[in-house]
């Protein structure tokens, strides 16, 4: 409990929940936990109470603005998707969520949906809002790599369309649970093997099915190094994503918003295709997006 | 223990071990278990004893011919790969394996390897041998769908080259462990959704990365039926395999050797591309291959 507390920002991902307590002069405290919330409002409220209950002052309702899976069908309360084309600023579409604890005034940021081709996002729309808040004239494509990588076309303050690739999830499954795990180092990078994988996948995307098993065979027959195997897999999957997303990045202005390591890998892969992407830190952009919404609520009240 | 017992055929897969006891007039008994063998000779001998120990007569060594993972580096004893091009008949390359039990006379069928592009198989070479034993004039391509699907070019009694796609393993991981599992029926088929998936993957193979997540999004937004979702995933992955293997099947004679359900799915997918594939039952082909080897040993002794 801190007297300076003004509001709390929550990034509710499918695997992690990250909360930031903010006052007039910025960050007061941060907290993070695995997302182990049970489906529904009670389960989610219990998980949030574990994380930030100690920050809340008695006798008043603290504003909490949350984005991500908290607004999914089995989340706290469903925040229906906004359909694209949609403004990058989601402030007017916030959904109030019921809370048993009177100290909570919870607002959920809805995700975005696209009818054809069918696609959805929850959480990334807030990173996009944060990026655009800092780059209001941006016209181009925002790539948000992750478990489910998103590519969004942004023009004139609107998300025009977007697509998702399951690259991060595929990498996790293949590197830890498939036969390829026998060839993999648990960490480490081999930049040459990474770019080789990107190039293979981009030049012959139809061969992905066989390129993956080649990692196993080259380990058995030619002693492919475990670190090179890991980077090759990463390169093949990111290359396959770039192949699918070519209409998004070819000849476009591209910004990569994500965790520094993975954003740098995407920027490197794009750079090898002649695209000079700018990078922004994903966690900063979530906070910037939520802070922009906070400011809009304040000005609406004023 | 059966007086008619002449020899035992063993198909030692990475997940299952299947044994068949054979006499002069054919099959006497069958046994099957999960492959839980510990690495090395002792671990594998213990697993085999559990499965077929009761079949062995005291005081004499029974011939056991085994193919598959039993000959891998961490198997019973390593049976080094034969490099392609290699004859389809592996009888002369059998590897004797040491056994503590004097009732065992174990011979292991070596797998095949290919230097560039690097590839390996263990077990499928025996199915190929069995198929060619029954179709000695076959000249074309044998497709062996499974956890790791193999496509082998066979000409003039030789395996000329082959490639592997991890299709079965990808399907298992994506349908049971990825976010797509929420959309999937545990079983059942939707032939139209299957062929639609094949067609999507074959016509735009570079889009696979986004097509996979579309299954999730169409479930959330458009109520894609769980059975259709499962068949779409299967179709996309088999279509991606066909895209990678196009040089193998385009304008070629193709035989599909595998379990009836999956072989029929591949034949259907190939049929939609104008390729009339013949089908053969994988378990029968393993047994035919091992029986052919048994006959070659007998004639060598005579």
Axis-axis angle for helices B208-222, B226-244 (nearest 10): 170
Q: What is the pLDDT of residue B8?
A: 98
Q: Is the pLDDT of residue A228 over 80?
A: yes
Distance CA B251, CA B247 (A): 9
- Check: CB of residue A63 under 8 Å from CB of residue A105: yes
Residues A250 and A127 placed together within one structural domain of the fold: yes
pLDDT of B2 reads 85
Q: Concatenated DSSP letters for B142-199? A: EEE-STTEEEEEEETTEEEEEEEE-HHHHHHHHHHHSGGGGG--SS---HHHHHHHHH
Q: In this complex, do A216 and B241 lie within 8 Å of one another by their Cβ atoms?
A: no
Do the beta carbons of residue A243 and residue A222 sit within 8 Å? no
- Which helix (DSSP H) or strand (DSSP E) does residue A239 occupy? helix A226-244
B33: containing domain: 1-113
In a domain, B177, yes or no: yes
> Which residues, other chains included, contact A76 with Cβ-Cβ below 8 Å and sequence gap of 6+?
A40, A41, A44, A45, A66, A70, A97, A106, A108
A225 touches chain B (CB under 8 A): no
Contact B160, B84 (CB under 8 A): yes
pLDDT at position A240 over 70: yes
A298: CB partners within 8 A, 6+ apart: none
Q: Is residue A230 part of a domain?
A: yes
Confidence band for B298, pLDDT divided at 50, 70 and 90: confident
Q: Which of A66, A46, A75, A52 is nearest to A108 (CA)?
A: A66
Span B51-77, average pLDDT: 96
Which pLDDT belongs to residue B302? 65
Taking only the tens place, the pLDDT of each residue in B242-295 is 999 999 999 999 999 999 999 999 999 999 999 999 999 999 999 999 999 999
Beta carbons of B213 and A165 less than 8 angstroms apart: yes
User: Do residue A209 and residue B166 have CB atoms under 8 angstroms apart?
Assistant: yes
Q: Are residues B137 and B254 in the same domain?
A: yes
Look over chain B and give the mean of its residue pLDDT values, rounded to a whole number: 96
Q: Residue A187: count other Cβ atoms within 10 Å of its Cβ.
A: 7
Does any domain span residue B289? no
Strand B104-108 vs strand B62-68: parallel, antiparallel, or unpaired?
parallel
- The answer to whether position A302 is within a domain reads no
pLDDT in tens, A60-72: 999 999 999 999 9
Q: Tell whether B77 and B142 lie within a shared domain.
A: no
| Domain annotation covers residue A34 | yes
Q: What is the CATH number of the domain that holds A60?
A: 3.30.420.300
- Does residue A174 form part of some domain? yes
pLDDT of A299 > 90? The answer is no
Contact between A279 and A208 under an 8 Å Cβ cutoff? The reply is no
Residue A26 shares a structural domain with residue A92: yes
Residue A228's CATH number: 3.30.420.310
pLDDT of residue A12: 97
Task: From B272, B253, B240, B228, select the one nearest B155 (Cα to Cα).
Answer: B253
Task: Kindly report the nearest CA distance between residue A205 and chain B, in angstroms.
Answer: 5
Q: Are residues B98 and B209 located together in one domain of the fold?
A: no
To the nearest whole Å, the CA of A122 is away from the closest chain B CA by: 12
Same domain membership, residue B159 and residue B206: yes
The shortest C-alpha distance from B225 to chain A (Å) reads: 14
User: For the segment A161-185, what is each residue's pLDDT rounded down to a tens digit?
Assistant: 999 999 999 999 999 999 999 999 9
Q: Do residues A186 and A39 both lie within one domain? A: no
Same domain, A135 and A71: no
Q: Which residue, among B81, B203, B206, would best test binding to A if mutated, counting the most A CBs under 10 Å from its CB?
A: B206
End of a domain among B67, B87, B113? B113
pLDDT band at residue A298, thresholds of 50, 70 and 90? confident
Does B82 lie in the same domain as B179? no
* Domain total of chain B: 2
Q: Could you give the dihedral angle defined by the CA atoms of residues B227, B233, B239 and B244, in that order, rounded to the nearest 10 degrees? A: -160
Q: Which pair of structure tokens corresponds to residue B47?
A: 């697993």
Residues A219 and A184: their CA atoms lie apart, in Å, by: 9
* CA B82 vs CA B31, B98, B127, B133: distances in Å: 29, 21, 15, 19
Confidence band (pLDDT; 50, 70, 90) for B299? confident
Is residue A90 located within the same domain as residue A139? no
In a domain, B56, yes or no: yes
Task: Provide the pLDDT confidence category of residue B129 given band limits of 50, 70 and 90.
Answer: very high
User: Hey, how many other C-beta atoms are within 10 angstroms of the C-beta on A222?
Assistant: 10
For residue range B9-47, list pLDDT tens digits in order: 999 998 899 999 999 999 999 999 999 999 999 999 999
Reported as a pLDDT band with limits 50, 70 and 90, residue A294 is: very high
- Residues B138, B201, single domain; the answer is yes
> Are A234 and A187 part of one and the same domain?
yes
Q: Is residue A263 part of a domain?
A: yes
Quick one: what percent of chain B has pLDDT higher than 90? Answer: 96
């Amino acid at each position: 409990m801190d007297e300076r507390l003004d509001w709390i920002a929550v990034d509710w991902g499918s695997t992690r929940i990250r909360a930031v307590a903010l006052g007039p002069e910025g960050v007061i405290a941060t907290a993070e936990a695995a997302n182990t919330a049970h489906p529904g409002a009670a389960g989610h409220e219990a998980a949030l109470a574990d994380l930030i209950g100690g920050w809340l002052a008695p006798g008043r309702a603290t504003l909490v603005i949350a984005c991500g899976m908290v607004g999914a069908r089995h989340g706290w309360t469903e925040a229906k998707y906004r359909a694209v084309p949609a403004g990058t600023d989601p402030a007017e579409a916030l959904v109030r969520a019921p809370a048993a604890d009177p100290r909570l005034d919870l607002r959920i940021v809805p995700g975005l949906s696209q009818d054809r081709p069918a696609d959805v996002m929850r959480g990334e729309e807030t990173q996009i809002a944060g990026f655009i808040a800092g780059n209001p004239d941006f016209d181009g494509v925002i790539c948000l790599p992750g478990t489910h990588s998103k590519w969004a076309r942004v023009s004139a303050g609107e998300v025009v369309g977007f697509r998702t690739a399951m690259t991060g999830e595929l990498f996790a499954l293949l590197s830890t649970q498939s036969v390829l795990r026998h060839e993999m180092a648990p960490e480490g990078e081999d930049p040459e093997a990474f770019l080789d994988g990107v190039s293979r996948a981009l030049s012959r995307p139809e061969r992905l099915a066989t390129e993956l098993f080649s990692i196993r065979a080259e380990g058995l027959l030619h002693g492919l190094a475990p670190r090179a195997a890991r980077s090759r897999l990463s390169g093949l999957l990111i290359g396959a994503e770039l192949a699918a997303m070519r209409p998004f990045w070819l000849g476009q202005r591209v910004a990569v918003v994500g965790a520094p390591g993975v954003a740098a890998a995407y920027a490197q892969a794009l750079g090898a295709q002649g695209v000079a992407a700018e990078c922004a830190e994903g966690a900063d952009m979530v906070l910037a997006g939520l802070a922009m919404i906070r400011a809009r609520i304040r000005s609406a009240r004023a």
